[in-house]
Structures are given as C-alpha cells and as structure tokens.
Amino acid sequence: MSSRPVSCRLLAPLRPRGSWKYAIALSTCSIVILIFFTSHFARNGQLEWVLFPSEKAGVIGGDELGWNLTPSDSKGDVPIGVEGTCTPEEYAQGQWVRRPYWTRPGPLSRTNASDQSYYDLLHGAHGPEKMAAKEDILKFARLEGCASGGEYIWNQLAASKEEQWDRFPKALDWEWVPGGRCTGGGGFREWVVEDVLRDLVEGGGWLLVGDSITGNHFFSISCLLYPHVVWRKEDSKERDALQSLYLNASSPLASGFQYPADFNVTTTPLISFKRVDLLWSIEDLVEMHRKHHPEFYVKNETFKLFGSEPVWTISPDAYLDIFLGPAATANYKAMVVSTAGHWTTNLFRGYHKTSGSDLAPAAASPSSPSESFEDVEPLLGYDGLLVFFKEVMVRWAKAVQLRLDAHASLESTAESAPQRQVLVRAYMAGHADCHKQREPFTEVKPVVNMWNWSEFWRYNRIWTDLLSPSTGSKPRPYENVHFLDLDRPGALRPDGHVAADCLHIMTGSGVLEGWTHYIWHYVTKQIH
C-alpha cells in the first residue's frame, strides 16, 4: 500500500485557521434565528408557539421567511431548515401494498393508497403471469427500456438466471405506499417524468457517489428516465470512470425546458455516477489513521491498515471538483453519497483480529486518562473500525460543508447558481437466502450476518448522530449536508435482490426507484 505524502486540500480547512468562516456562518445564522424568534414572540406574546415550516410556504399565511407559526402540538418535531411535508422518516414509515403490475403505470409510488384509478382505467385487463423470456421483465416493471445498456441490463433487472424466473412477476407486483404526511393530500410529489427532467435541467442535476449499490441506483434511474436520456461513460476503460445520463435532444420533452446559461445538451449531464467506495482515498485514510491512532504503529512497526482486497476510491476533493464544475459540464445541484459496504475488516485488514470474532465487543480494558499511546491497546474488530469510521466522517462532513461555503461565496455574483446540497443515503444490508423469498416482510427483521451485514446499521447510526439535529430548535450542524434514512423500504424486500447475490438490488422492484422518487421530492420540495 502506497504511503506517499497526502496533498489533500480538504485536510487543511480542519486547522483552526480554516474554521473561522464556518463559525461566522453558524453564528450569523443563530443571530438571525434569535432575532426572528424574539420579534415573533414579542408580536404574538405566545411563548408556547414554535417555529414550524409552512405546509405551503408563502401561500397560506407564510411569513417573509417562508415559515409559518403553528402550535407546538400539531405534528412531531420537524427540524429547522427542513421545509415541506414529507420527511425521509415519514416516507420510510410506509408499507408495501400488492398491486398487480398491469394495474400500475410504473414501479413508483402513488401518494394515495386508496386511489383505484389504474384499476378503473384498465377495466380489469390482465397481463401474463409467467415469465417466458428475459425481455418480459421490462413489461412487468413497466419500463420501456434502460439508457444504460449492454448485456449488463439483465443482471440489473435480475432476469439473468432462468432458474429464478418463477420469482416474476410477483417481485414487481408491489407498490410502496409511504407513511406520515407523505400519503394523500399532496404531501409527497407525484412522479411525473417531465417534471423530473425539467427540475434536472432547470434546477440542476445529481452526482451519485458511492459503491456498486449506488451503481444499481444509477442504472435504475437510466430506466426511469428512458428514452428521454442517453447514457455515456467517460472515455476510459477504468471501472470507476464517470458515467452520465444526458438529455436526449430528440425527445419531444426537450423543447419544453428553459435552459440555464451555459447548459449544453451534449455536455451537461443530468445525472452522473462516480464510483467511490470509501468516500476518502486510500492515502487519506492511511494518513488520518496514523494521526488518530498512533497506538497501532507504536505496538507494531510494520502495521498496515489495508489488506489486498481491491477497492475503487478517491479523495473528496476529486469528486467535489466534479460536483462543483462549470455548468457546461456539471450543472449539479445535489450530490448523493453512500458508503459502508466496503468498510469491512477484510479490506481494513489491520482491524482483523487474529483470534476471536471481529464482531465481538472488545473486552473492557481498564484505562486511566493519563495514559500515553504506548499503554493504549489498539481496539480491533468492528468496534475499532467504527471508531475510525466516525472520526473520518466527522472530518468529511466538515470538509464538505467548508468547500460548499467557499464555493457559494465565489458564486455569489452569479444569481442563477443553484444552492448545492449533499445527501447521505443510508446503507442497506442484504438478506440471507433471498432467492427463496417470494414476498415483502411486513416488519423489519434482524439482519442475518452474512458478509458482516449485521454491522451496517452502526454506520447509519453514526450518520444519524452526525447529521440530524438533536432537537427542533437547534440548527442542523452542517447546513447543506443531509442524512436520508431511506433503508426501511428495502429492508422489507428480501425478494427484491438481483439474481447473482443477496445484497444488490433489482431494478423495477420499487426500492431503487423509491430512492429516486424521494430524493427528487426532497431536493425540490423539502429543502427547496
């Protein structure tokens, strides 16, 4: 493993000199909120009222900031800075409802569980109930095709193994009906492909950053937006080369949009996928590990953090350069990241225990605060790896927010520049024996520990603690970095995996499509 010196610009802002800007932004924000609170309380004289985001900001009684004052007993704690009416938690608190594929226009949720219009529309017309050819899967999924093509398509659609065809069409007969305020009443945006494309063109696209599960997600989007997008990969044979979906200039929809200045239909992607397994480069992680955990190196002069498992991963600066590039090649508004699947003690071989299980908690070792590293025992197994994960993701969130702030101040003269947002999508565990499963679960079951999937929830917990506000009155710690806890719908779909394994997710079952639907809603409505 190389240990060449790291020249990572993101490590620099963590020095005290770099934090002033963030501190000023935070305190300015706090002052604004304080003044706002004080003036409203003075005007209304009602201290029990809390700030609550307007259901229709600026339409019914919204004030100048787009917030409404609503009695505190109305609806749970909605954090300041998260507008709108269908939070990730509410979306995820729904259920899978069986709706035969021929009664639905596509794999996505309607917002109204009792809406029968598709049944009415189709007058009971009945589609085939057996899969006879792999192409049938598109019919069952109600997809015309997928822009991201090749033979690969049949793996992503889970149709590659004939001996599993008896899973279909049932696996595509389920619709996610979200919970809370997302259902009925227009709380959750209805999926309309033209509206989605308009938002991607006019409001800015998405850069997806993550491992092969994010690759699954990207593929599914290429089907949802087909034939209005065309797929291209950067000119390189590398597995991690950037892949993008561009607007299909011949699509009849293409003439109906208002294109931002510098948008070029040929070169401005709507959605891109950059493979990055760990969110940091190997060199970054080796350097940070030495800094945070000298105890490993004191005990063992030949200690190595990484083993020999292959991994594709680069520095945050490298993918933020893509994200924040010029509109002609990068008109992105949102970056969606996810990681955990490669954070194993197999890749991080230095954390593997030579005896005992990596999953077992470390024996409690008495420690006194005055200890130097020579006395500290390295903490091995997942307990230790998760400590390190947390340390580097705290640095990641700070670094990303600082870079967004720096970029926003550079761009403050250009009025049309979108406010960039970074969304961290929760990581989802797989299901044991998934190819024998024929129905969704109605409640989440404990994860069976294959490939150390039983550890994934701990990575998600770290993101929750890091990115979610602890109370409704506290500003979010990283204003433009959000956590989307969307893993429940997928956790309820043991029947929704690809043919080759039980972690990757099939396109068309509604899980990946639901992520896309929710992210679109979140970016354009919740935090607009």
Closest CA to 231 of 204, 220, 518: 220
Residue 336 pairs in a beta bridge with 208, 423
Interface with ligand NAG (CB under 6 A), residue from 227, 256, 325, 326: 227
Give CA separation, 37 vs 34, 153, 159, 193, in Å. Answer: 5, 53, 56, 40
- Residue pair 493/96 in contact (Cβ under 8 Å)? The answer is yes
**DSSP helix/strand/coil, 201:** helix
Binding pattern to ligand NAG, positions 480-509, x when CB under 6 A?
Answer: ------------------------------
Binding pattern to ligand NAG, positions 87-126, x when CB under 6 A?
Answer: -------------------------x-xx-----------
CB of 133 to ligand NAG, least distance (A): 21
Give CA separation, 452 vs 457, 461, 486, 522, in Å. Answer: 11, 16, 20, 31
Task: Decide if residue 471 touches ligand NAG (CB under 6 A).
Answer: no
Task: Decide if residue 267 touches ligand NAG (CB under 6 A).
Answer: yes
In the numeric block, which tokens belong to residue 348? 């991080």
Q: Which stretch binds ligand NAG (CB under 6 A): 25-33, 200-208, 247-255, 489-497?
A: 247-255
> Which pairing describes strands 243-247 and 229-233: parallel, antiparallel, or unpaired?
antiparallel
- Residue pair 94/486 in contact (Cβ under 8 Å)? The answer is no
Task: Decide if residue 329 touches ligand NAG (CB under 6 A).
Answer: no
Task: Decide if residue 524 touches ligand NAG (CB under 6 A).
Answer: no
Closest CA to 458 of 343, 356, 357: 343
CA–CA dist 174, 497 (Å, integer)? 14
In the numeric block, which tokens belong to residue 270? 């709507």
Closest CA to 407 of 336, 483, 326, 476: 326
Mind giving me the DSSP string for 76-99? S---TT--SS--HHHHHT-EEEE-
Looking at residues 38 to 57 of the shown chain, list those that interact with ligand NAG (rule: CB under 6 A).
none
Interface with ligand NAG (CB under 6 A), residue from 62, 179, 184, 260: 184
Alpha helices (H) in 412-455, listed in sequence order: none
Q: With contacts defined by CB under 6 A, how many residues of the chain interact with ligand NAG?
A: 26
Identity of the residue, 71 or 227, whose beta carbon is nearer to ligand NAG in the bound complex: 227
Interface with ligand NAG (CB under 6 A), residue from 304, 390, 407, 525: 304
Identity of the residue, 55 or 495, whose beta carbon is nearer to ligand NAG in the bound complex: 55
CB of 247 to ligand NAG, least distance (A): 9
CB of 490 to ligand NAG, least distance (A): 20
Task: Decide if residue 300 touches ligand NAG (CB under 6 A).
Answer: yes
Taking the alpha carbons of 269, 271, 274, 276 in that order, is the dihedral positive or negative? positive
CB of 307 to ligand NAG, least distance (A): 8
Closest CA to 145 of 507, 423, 494, 429: 507
CB of 516 to ligand NAG, least distance (A): 18
Binding pattern to ligand NAG, positions 385-424, x when CB under 6 A?
Answer: ----------------------------------------
- Chain residues that interact with ligand NAG, rule: CB under 6 A: 112, 114-115, 184-185, 227, 230, 248, 250-251, 264, 266-267, 300, 302-304, 344-346, 350, 357-359, 451-452
